[in-house]
Amino acid sequence: MTSATPHRTRADHKRQYREQPRRAGVYLIRNTVSGKVLLGSSMNLHGPLNRHRFMLDIGGHPNRALQEDWRRLGPDAFEFAIADIVTPQDEEAGPHEDELWLLEQVWIERTSPFGERGYNLHPRIRDA
């Protein structure tokens, strides 16, 4: 019996990815054992969480404390989540950087991701 849905090619997947609307927002990686978080933001949330997970999996994450906890506790001790998405005032223009900056400030205050409570090393949390 054959499937009615044809197999999608790699090119189909790439095209679908490129056509998805870009969403700006704040994400976090939470250590479910200690409660520590790494807070980040991006004008394009499609990639950062996958990039962080990949870097942790290969042992090459630049945040040494996060990498050490990942190695010691394993991936099941971490949760990756989009915390909030910018809702642009002008839907057609899309999100503006100042709207994302305001959202970042709310989440920095809410999570205090520095020192004992987090993995963030500086107040700038936006991905380049």
CB atoms within 10 A of CB 17: 10
Domain ranges, residue 46: 22-117
Asked if residues 42 and 24 have their Cβ atoms less than 8 Å apart, the reply is yes
Q: Is residue 2 part of a domain?
A: no
Q: Is residue 125 part of a domain?
A: no
Q: Is residue 4 part of a domain?
A: no
Low-confidence ranges of the chain (pLDDT < 50): 1
Q: Is residue 59 part of a domain?
A: yes
**Number of domains composing the chain:** 1
CATH code assigned at 110: 3.40.1440.10
Q: Is residue 10 part of a domain?
A: no
